[in-house]
């Protein structure tokens, strides 16, 4: 049995935007969230 393909949203939610504005040290996590749609594309799931 194969799990469903995860299709993450590209746009940041309002809550995510608030959190990102407050983050000072974890810039890597912000970067990964902003490119998440590129990292987990169809080719990744295949």
pTM (two decimals): 0.66
Residue 11's pLDDT is 92
With cut-offs at 50, 70 and 90, classify the pLDDT of residue 17.
very high
Contact 6, 41 (CB under 8 A): no
Could you give the percent of the chain with pLDDT greater than 90? 43
Cβ density class 9-25: b for 16+ within 10 Å, e for less: eeeeeeeeeeeeeeeee
- Tell whether the model's pLDDT for residue 45 goes beyond 70: no
For the segment 22-46, the average pLDDT, to the nearest whole number, is 84
For the segment 26-41, the average pLDDT, to the nearest whole number, is 88
Domain boundaries, the chain: 14-45
Contact 34, 10 (CB under 8 A): no
Could you give the percent of the chain with pLDDT greater than 70? 91
């Amino acid at each position: 049995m194969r799990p469903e393909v995860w299709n993450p949203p590209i746009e940041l939610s309002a809550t995510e935007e608030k959190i990102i504005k407050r983050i000072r040290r974890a810039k890597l996590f912000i970067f990964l969230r902003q490119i998440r749609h590129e990292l987990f594309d169809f080719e990744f799931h295949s």
